[in-house]
Amino acid sequence: MSDPTREQRLRACLEAAFAPRALSVLDDSARHAGHAGAAGGMGHFRISIVADAFAGLSPLARHRRVYAALGDLLRTDIHALTIDARPPP
């Protein structure tokens, strides 16, 4: 089996940490070709996640939880990250 893609690794971390009701992970790196961060091999990602774990948390606290779940990927794979983290309606 081949190594998982960065997108798959991000998705796996978020699914393990939050058991989300909805999750979208978009690798937006191609739009940033030539950008300093892209030149180093790191990617630009957009994450949209809906999870019970975000209920009662401020947007900042939700982002911190996502950063914690992604751990080392923030140093090795991710240059830029756009996060939409919400509790279920």
Domain boundaries, the chain: 6-86
H-run or E-run covering 75: helix 73-76
Q: What pLDDT was estimated at residue 29?
A: 82
Q: What pLDDT was estimated at residue 67?
A: 97
Q: Cα 27 to chain center, whole Å?
A: 9
Tell me yes or no: is domain 6-86 CATH 3.90.740.10: no
Q: What is the pLDDT of residues 3-59, one digit of tens each?
A: 678 899 999 999 999 999 999 999 988 765 665 555 566 788 999 999 999 999 999
Q: What pLDDT was estimated at residue 2?
A: 55
pTM for the whole structure: 0.85
Across 28-32, 49-53, 69-73, 80-84, least confident range: 28-32
What is the rounded average pLDDT of the residues 61-76? 96
Q: Which two tokens stand for residue 23?
A: 């999750």
